[in-house]
């Protein structure tokens, strides 16, 4: 048997490895966006779902991955790595994990490229989906937003694990043998999160500007230092850079999967059916290819914004409120909620200013006030007809009594006149009051004795 | 051909049984499901697309990925629910085992019925514990989450050994290898069974077979 790859097999294998690398990056970054991912199954094959898996392509991520690969493929000594790190709002950063797609020299010459390798790569991607939810960084990424963000960085070449701290663990996602080497996918993750545990992520004044645009690299702008990552979030592209990322890259290829089963008479060794897989793939250089595959694409030219918006990160609470808006609830005071509010909000405070009663009493009121008691200005929210309520002791019935005292005047201590004296003043006057009480302590003692 | 057998063991609280079983069964089925096959003339076929979705557990600090198929989810949930009820009815501190078996059908001539030949069996042993207070429950949430993570890594490790898988079938044989009853995905033929062991350690009467609709129908 000819152990060298046929040209078609070699071409297919290169394509599989390239798209496997791109999909690997997509799965990893999407798993660190901080949101639950959901894609739909489709019984009819679409032209763009590589490895028969519905994995969306975030154009920015594909762009970064292709930039890192620079036309090369992962090979022996050339690994593709995705580094996930955490950056706090104060600017501290820490590497959390590094995912490595490597190739070693162990070849499997007999394996069928167009069928077995393809299916095993599909299984490996599924394993990656499962494992990305299991490493510690997943939980951290689900809670990102207010205090920290998760960044990713793609690089090609030698694997760098120095930033993971001491005692990092490795988990192997899986391996797939091919005629040119064995593809291995693994993750090294930090276990020493001491930096995290020492910091108290206090929910203090919200931090402006950390979200969304803060870390995104302008497409044609300043070169970022190589070790700074990209945020694991996505925003819809601006007008300016929309043209760069939106839609389809001209070199992206369509995967039209078509498998064949050879009739039993033409079978291989064991008498079972040995399917032969033939993949038809077309590049998107021409318009026909674009329109054909348009409807099936996971990111079609017609709705890039829609699919991109699906990845917009939720903004943490309180982020957009102006810092000057400090309510009494934020002050570290006991019973702060009961403190008189600021003047501006008191105008709308129904506790301080009860709703105005209608000037004329309703006919219903008139009929209930048989005793002729004061009824003007009362507003009836409901009609109360208390049963057996007539009482000889009181000159009025229960219903009248209820209505009369339904809206009592506000306590003096809660009224506007006192609002100018803030809680702080109250606290300041406490020492004086305490001194006075101490002076009169004998009187208090006598009072207590009297009660007993 | 020998049947591959893998055993996973978990210790959980009663309220965590359902989610723990769903997490592991769905993780295995994710790897053992393909898109729907569409056979065309000239002996070629195309494969549909499998979508995935993230599921967060309520009683365990854990999230897992399952195939986006409501039909499949319903079937698995039904089986897990029966298992959970059986475990609950067996008394406190029950032990049980739920098995997910992948098999191939081999057609026999009349009057013999079709043979079901298992090629991979996953057994999940469950040990139910009762916890005394909320603090212990909180610790249990996290610990069980970590354990499930380890089990997922075990599952992935076994599957990525790429050992025996049934050959891809022709159109006439596809129902002997795959469960084609679902609309959107196509898992390998499987069945879920369970056993309950009572607290005395003896195997209790009921071993119930939970079959998927028409797989064993003659």
Q: Which residues of chain A does B42 touch, with a Cβ-Cβ cutoff of 8 Å?
A: 260
* Buried/exposed code over A197-230 (b: 16+ C-beta within 10 A; e: otherwise): eeeeeeeeebbeebbbeebbeeeeeeeeeeeebb
Put simply, whether A175 touches B (Cβ < 8 Å) is yes
pLDDT at A364 over 50: no
Measure in Å the smallest separation between the Cα of B163 and chain A Cα atoms: 11
Confidence of residue A99 (pLDDT cuts 50, 70, 90): very high
Of B44, B67, B167, the CB nearest to A273: B167
Torsion of CA B195, B201, B203, B209, to 10 degrees: 0
User: Are residues A44 and B169, on separate chains, in Cβ contact within 8 Å?
Assistant: no
User: Are residues B49 and A36, on separate chains, in Cβ contact within 8 Å?
Assistant: no
Q: Which residues of chain A does B146 touch, with a Cβ-Cβ cutoff of 8 Å?
A: none
Residue A270 is predicted with a pLDDT of 33
User: Are residues A261 and B169, on separate chains, in Cβ contact within 8 Å?
Assistant: yes
Task: Please say whether the beta carbons of B203 and B92 come within 8 A.
Answer: no
Question: How many percent of chain A have pLDDT more than 90?
Answer: 29
What is the rounded average pLDDT for all residues in chain A? 68
Of A36, A43, A124, the CB nearest to B36: A43
Q: Which residues of chain A does B68 touch, with a Cβ-Cβ cutoff of 8 Å?
A: 38-41, 54
Tokens of A109: 């010459």
Residue A14 is predicted with a pLDDT of 92
What CATH number does the domain containing A85 carry?
3.30.900.10
Q: Which residues of chain B does A126 touch, with a Cβ-Cβ cutoff of 8 Å?
A: 30-31, 52
User: Are residues B49 and A275, on separate chains, in Cβ contact within 8 Å?
Assistant: no
For residue A258, the chain B residue with the least C-alpha distance is B46
User: Are residues A259 and B47, on separate chains, in Cβ contact within 8 Å?
Assistant: yes
| Mean pLDDT for the stretch of residues A340-349 | 45
Residue A6 is predicted with a pLDDT of 87
Measure in Å the smallest separation between the Cα of A125 and chain B Cα atoms: 9
Q: What is the pLDDT along chain B (218 residues), one digit of tens a residue?
A: 578 899 999 999 999 999 999 999 999 999 999 999 988 887 788 899 999 999 999 999 999 999 999 999 999 999 999 999 998 887 656 789 999 999 999 888 777 788 899 999 999 999 999 888 999 999 999 999 999 999 999 999 999 998 889 988 888 899 999 999 999 999 999 999 998 886 555 554 444 444 444 445 44
Put simply, whether A359 touches B (Cβ < 8 Å) is no
Closest CA to A156 of A73, A57, A54, A240: A73
Q: Which residues of chain B does A273 touch, with a Cβ-Cβ cutoff of 8 Å?
A: 167-170, 173
Q: Give residues 263 to 292 of A whose Cβ lies within 8 Å of B.
A: 263-264, 272-275, 278
User: Are residues A174 and B63, on separate chains, in Cβ contact within 8 Å?
Assistant: no
Residues A229-275: tens digit of each pLDDT: 777 765 444 433 333 443 333 334 556 456 665 533 333 333 333 33
Query: What ipTM was predicted for this assembly?
Result: 0.90
Confidence of residue A24 (pLDDT cuts 50, 70, 90): very high
Residue B205 is predicted with a pLDDT of 40
Q: Which residues of chain B does A37 touch, with a Cβ-Cβ cutoff of 8 Å?
A: 52-54
Return left, alpha or beta for A335; rule: phi > 0 is left, psi -120 to 50 is alpha, else beta: left
Indicate whether A256 belongs to any domain. no
| Mean pLDDT for the stretch of residues A380-396 | 58
For residue B148, the chain A residue with the least C-alpha distance is A134
Residue A388 is predicted with a pLDDT of 61
Q: Which domain holds residue A163?
A: 7-189
Residue A234 is predicted with a pLDDT of 54
Indicate whether A52 belongs to any domain. yes
Terminal-to-terminal C-alpha distance of chain B? 25
Q: What are phi and psi of B125, to 5 degrees?
A: -90, 130
Q: Which residues of chain A does B149 touch, with a Cβ-Cβ cutoff of 8 Å?
A: 134
Strands B33-35 and A230-231, sheet pairing: unpaired
Q: Who has greater pLDDT, A333 or A375?
A: A333
Residue A196 is predicted with a pLDDT of 56
**Residue carrying structure tokens 């700074």:** A228
Q: Give residues 84 to 103 of B whose Cβ lies within 8 Å of A.
A: none
User: Are residues A260 and B45, on separate chains, in Cβ contact within 8 Å?
Assistant: yes
Question: How many percent of chain A have pLDDT more than 70?
Answer: 52
Measure in Å the smallest separation between the Cα of B125 and chain A Cα atoms: 21
Put simply, whether B146 touches A (Cβ < 8 Å) is no
Residue A416 is predicted with a pLDDT of 55
pLDDT at A205 over 50: no
| Mean pLDDT for the stretch of residues A185-201 | 72
Closest CA to B149 of A414, A315, A139: A139
Q: Write the CA distances from B203 to A379, B97, B179, integer angstroms.
A: 73, 11, 31
Q: Who has greater pLDDT, A203 or A183?
A: A183
Q: Who has greater pLDDT, A430 or A248?
A: A430
Put simply, whether B152 touches A (Cβ < 8 Å) is yes
Count how many domains chain A has. Answer: 1
Q: Which residues of chain A does B182 touch, with a Cβ-Cβ cutoff of 8 Å?
A: none
| Mutation target vs B (from A41, A47, A280; most B CBs, 10 A cutoff) | A41
Residues A126-135: tens digit of each pLDDT: 999 999 999 9
Q: Who has greater pLDDT, B142 or A349?
A: B142
Residue A267 is predicted with a pLDDT of 33
Q: Which helix (H) or strand (E) holds A185?
A: strand A181-189
User: Are residues B63 and A54, on separate chains, in Cβ contact within 8 Å?
Assistant: no
Residue B34 is predicted with a pLDDT of 94
Measure in Å the smallest separation between the Cα of A410 and chain B Cα atoms: 44
Q: Who has greater pLDDT, A55 or A327?
A: A55
Residues A117-127: tens digit of each pLDDT: 999 999 999 99
Residue A413 is predicted with a pLDDT of 64
Tokens of B136: 């212990």
The residue extents of the domains of chain B are 4-208
| Mean pLDDT for the stretch of residues A201-213 | 34
Residue A302 is predicted with a pLDDT of 41
User: Are residues A53 and B184, on separate chains, in Cβ contact within 8 Å?
Assistant: no
Which residues have a Cβ under 8 Å from the Cβ of A414 and sit 6 or more positions away? A340, A351, A352
Measure in Å the smallest separation between the Cα of A244 and chain B Cα atoms: 28
Residue B19 three-state SS: helix
User: Are residues A52 and B48, on separate chains, in Cβ contact within 8 Å?
Assistant: yes
Q: Which residues of chain B does A185 touch, with a Cβ-Cβ cutoff of 8 Å?
A: none
User: Are residues A41 and B49, on separate chains, in Cβ contact within 8 Å?
Assistant: yes
Residue B193 is predicted with a pLDDT of 94
Measure in Å the smallest separation between the Cα of B86 and chain A Cα atoms: 29
Residues A52-91: tens digit of each pLDDT: 999 999 999 999 999 999 989 988 889 999 999 999 999 8
User: Are residues B45 and A273, on separate chains, in Cβ contact within 8 Å?
Assistant: no
In the DSSP assignment, the letter for residue B154 is: H
Put simply, whether A310 touches B (Cβ < 8 Å) is no
Confidence of residue A27 (pLDDT cuts 50, 70, 90): very high
Quick one: B74 exposed, middle or buried, by C-beta within 10 A (0-12, 13-18, 19+)?
Answer: exposed
Task: Count CB pairs under 8 A between chains A and B.
Answer: 152
| Mutation target vs B (from A134, A182, A187; most B CBs, 10 A cutoff) | A134
Confidence of residue A137 (pLDDT cuts 50, 70, 90): very high
pLDDT at A419 over 70: no
């Amino acid at each position: 048997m000819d152990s060298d790859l046929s040209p078609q097999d070699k071409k297919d294998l290169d394509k599989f490895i390239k798209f496997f690398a791109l999909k690997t990056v997509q799965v990893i970054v999407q798993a660190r966006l901080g949101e639950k991912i959901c894609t739909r199954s489709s019984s009819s094959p679409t032209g763009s779902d590589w490895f028969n898996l519905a994995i969306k392509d975030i154009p920015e991520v594909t762009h970064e991955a292709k930039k890192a690969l620079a036309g090369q493929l992962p090979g022996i000594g050339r690994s593709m790595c995705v580094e996930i790190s955490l950056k706090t709002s104060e600017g501290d950063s820490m590497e959390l994990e590094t995912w490595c797609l490597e190739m070693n020299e162990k070849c499997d010459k007999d394996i069928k490229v167009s069928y077995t390798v393809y299916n095993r790569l599909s299984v490996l991607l599924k394993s990656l989906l499962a494992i990305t939810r299991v490493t510690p960084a997943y939980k951290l990424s689900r809670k990102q937003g207010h205090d920290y963000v998760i960044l990713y960085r793609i690089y090609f070449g030698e694997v760098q694990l120095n930033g993971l701290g001491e005692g990092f663990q490795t988990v192997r996602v899986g391996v797939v043998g091919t005629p040119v080497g064995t593809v291995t996918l693994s993750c090294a993750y930090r276990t020493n999160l001491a930096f995290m545990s020492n910091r108290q992520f206090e929910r203090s004044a919200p931090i402006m500007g950390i979200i969304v645009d803060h870390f995104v690299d302008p497409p044609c702008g300043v070169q970022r230092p190589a070790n700074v990552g990209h945020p694991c979030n996505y925003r819809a592209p601006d007008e300016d850079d929309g043209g760069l990322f939106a839609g389809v890259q001209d070199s992206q290829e369509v995967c039209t999967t078509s498998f064949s089963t050879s009739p039993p008479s033409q079978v291989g060794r064991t008498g079972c059916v040995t399917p032969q897989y033939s993949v038809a793939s077309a590049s998107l250089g021409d318009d026909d290819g674009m329109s054909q595959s348009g409807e099936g694409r996971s990111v079609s030219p017609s709705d890039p914004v829609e699919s991109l918006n699906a990845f917009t990160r939720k903004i943490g609470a309180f982020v957009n409120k102006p810092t000057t808006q400090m309510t009494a609830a934020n002050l570290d005071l006991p019973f702060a909620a009961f403190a008189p509010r600021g003047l501006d909000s008191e105008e709308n405070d129904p506790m301080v200013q009860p709703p105005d009663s209608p000037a004329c009493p309703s006919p219903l009121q008139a009929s209930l006030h048989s005793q002729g008691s004061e009824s003007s200005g009362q507003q009836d929210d409901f009609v109360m007809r208390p049963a057996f309520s007539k009482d000889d002791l009181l000159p009025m019935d229960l219903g009248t009594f209820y209505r009369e005292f339904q809206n009592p005047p506000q306590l003096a201590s809660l009224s506007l006149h006192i609002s100018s004296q803030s809680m702080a003043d109250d606290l300041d006057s406490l020492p004086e009051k305490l001194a006075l009480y101490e002076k009169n302590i004998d009187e208090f003692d006598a009072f207590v004795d009297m009660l007993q | 051909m020998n049947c591959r057998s893998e055993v996973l063991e978990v210790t959980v609280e009663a309220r965590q049984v359902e989610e723990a079983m769903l997490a592991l069964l769905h993780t295995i089925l994710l790897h053992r499901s393909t898109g729907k096959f569409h056979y065309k003339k000239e002996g070629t076929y195309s494969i549909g697309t499998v979508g995935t979705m993230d599921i967060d557990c309520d009683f365990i600090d854990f999230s897992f990925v399952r195939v986006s198929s409501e039909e499949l989810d319903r079937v698995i949930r039904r089986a897990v629910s029966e298992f959970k009820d059986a475990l609950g009815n067996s008394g406190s501190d029950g032990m049980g085992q739920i098995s997910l078996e992948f098999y191939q059908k081999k057609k026999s001539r009349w009057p013999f019925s079709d043979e079901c030949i298992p090629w991979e069996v996953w057994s999940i042993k469950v040990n139910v514990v009762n916890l005394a207070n909320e603090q212990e429950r909180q610790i249990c949430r996290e610990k069980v989450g970590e354990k499930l993570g380890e089990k997922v890594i075990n599952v992935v490790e076994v599957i990525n050994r790429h050992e025996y898988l049934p050959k891809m079938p022709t159109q006439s044989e596809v129902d002997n290898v795959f469960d084609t009853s679902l609309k959107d995905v196509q898992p390998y033929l499987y069945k879920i069974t369970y056993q309950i062991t009572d607290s005395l350690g003896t195997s209790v009467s009921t071993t119930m077979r939970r079959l998927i609709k028409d797989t064993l129908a003659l």
